Amino acid sequence: MKIAIIGGGNMGEVMLASVLDLGLAKPGAITISDIAKARLKHLEKKYGVDATTSNLKAAAKGEVVVLAIKPQNLPEVMAELSGSFKPSQLVLSIIAGAKIKTLSRGLRHDSIVRAMPNTPARIGEGMSVWTATAEVSKKQRAWASSILRAMGREVYVDDEGYIDMATAISGSGPAYFFLMVEALVDAAVGIGLPRDMALGLVLQTMLGSGHLVQRSGKAPAELRRMVTSPAGTTAQALEQLKKGNFAGLIRRAVKAAYKRARELGR
C-alpha cells in the first residue's frame, strides 16, 4: 500500500508512526507533505519517509491519500488538489467537521472515507469512527480499516451523521477525562496528599475503573451502586456531584461539542 499524508502535524505523525509500526507500508512507500520545512525535515529523518512541501506531489504518489490538516486549511488544500485524483485513489479524511459532500465537491473525487480518530491513538489506544462513500471499493475499505486499526479500535457506521456525534464523545472525550484527572489530583493535594502520589492514585483508579466496566459485564450504574455503601464516603461524594448537577454539565458539554462539530461542516 502506498500512502500519502497531507499534513505533518500531530495526528499526521501519529498515523505515520502507527502504519510503520504495524508494517502496513514501508518508509519508501509513504510520502508526507507540510508547509513547515523544519517539521518535514524532522519527519523525514525520524521515519525515513519521503517529504515534500507540495501537497500535489505527495497526493500523486498515494493509493491512499490521508487528509490530516486543520479544518481552517481545508479550502486552500482542496483548491490545490481539486481534480488531481485518479478514480483508483482513496481519500481518507480525519478533518473534524469536514463532510463527505464538501470533500467530494471540493476535490472533485468520489472515493472518500471520513474518519474521526482521537488522541489516545498516540499510544495505539485510539478510538476511530468512520464511514465511506458507495464508490469506495472493498479493497479500499480494508485499507482504511487497517490504517485506523493501527491506531487502536475502529468502528464503521453507515450514517455519516454519527461522525459528528462521535466527535463530541470519543473525539473530544479525552479532554473531559484529562480535566477530571486534573480536578481529582488538585482535590487530593487540597486534602494533604503529595502531588506525585495523588497523580498515581488517580491514574490507576481511572484505568482500573475503565477496565472493570469493560470486563465485568455489568452496567456502569450497577457498578456505581456496588461501590456506594449507604451513608458511606462514596455516597457523600456522589451527593455533592448530584447537587452540582454533574450529569447535566456532561450533557451540556457534549451538546456544545456536537453543535460545534456540525458548525465546522457548514
User: Read out DSSP for 88-127?
Assistant: T-EEEE--TT--HHHHHHHHT---EEEEE--GGGGGT-EE
Distance CA 176, CA 51 (A): 35
pLDDT reading at 266 higher than 80:
no
Per-residue pLDDT tens for 200-257? 999 999 999 999 999 999 999 999 999 999 989 999 999 999 999 999 999 999 999 9
CATH code for the part of the protein at 3-159: 3.40.50.720
The cell numbers describing 84, all together, are 488531481
If you average pLDDT over every residue of the chain, what do you get?
94
Distance CA 151, CA 167 (A): 16
Phi, psi for 46 (deg, rounded to 5): -75, -40
pLDDT given at position 245: 96
Strands 64-67 and 3-6: parallel
pLDDT given at position 184: 97
Q: What is the DSSP string of the chain?
A: --EEEE--SHHHHHHHHHHHHTTSS-GGGEEEE-S-HHHHHHHHHHH--EEES-HHHHHHT-SEEEE---GGGHHHHHHHHTT---TT-EEEE--TT--HHHHHHHHT---EEEEE--GGGGGT-EEEEEEE-TTS-HHHHHHHHHHHHTTEEEEE-S-THHHHHHIIIIITHHHHHHHHHHHHHHHHHHTT--HHHHHHHHHHHHHHHHHHHHHH---HHHHHHHH--TTSHHHHHHHHHHHTTHHHHHHHHHHHHHHHHHHHT-
Per-residue pLDDT tens for 161-211? 999 999 999 999 999 999 999 999 999 999 999 999 999 999 999 999 999
Q: Where do the domains of the chain lie? A: 3-159, 173-264
Per-residue pLDDT tens for 49-93? 999 999 999 999 999 999 999 888 999 999 999 999 999 999 999
Phi, psi for 93 (deg, rounded to 5): -100, 130
**CATH 3.10.129.10 applies to domain 173-264:** no
Distance CA 42, CA 198 (A): 36
Phi, psi for 133 (deg, rounded to 5): -75, 165
- Stated length of the chain: 266
Is residue 131 within 8 Å of residue 113, measured between CB atoms? yes
Per-residue pLDDT tens for 136-162? 999 999 999 999 999 999 999 999 999
Phi, psi for 91 (deg, rounded to 5): -100, 125
Is residue 68 within 8 Å of residue 11, measured between CB atoms? yes
HSE value, Cβ hemisphere, 13 Å, CA-based, for 154:
22
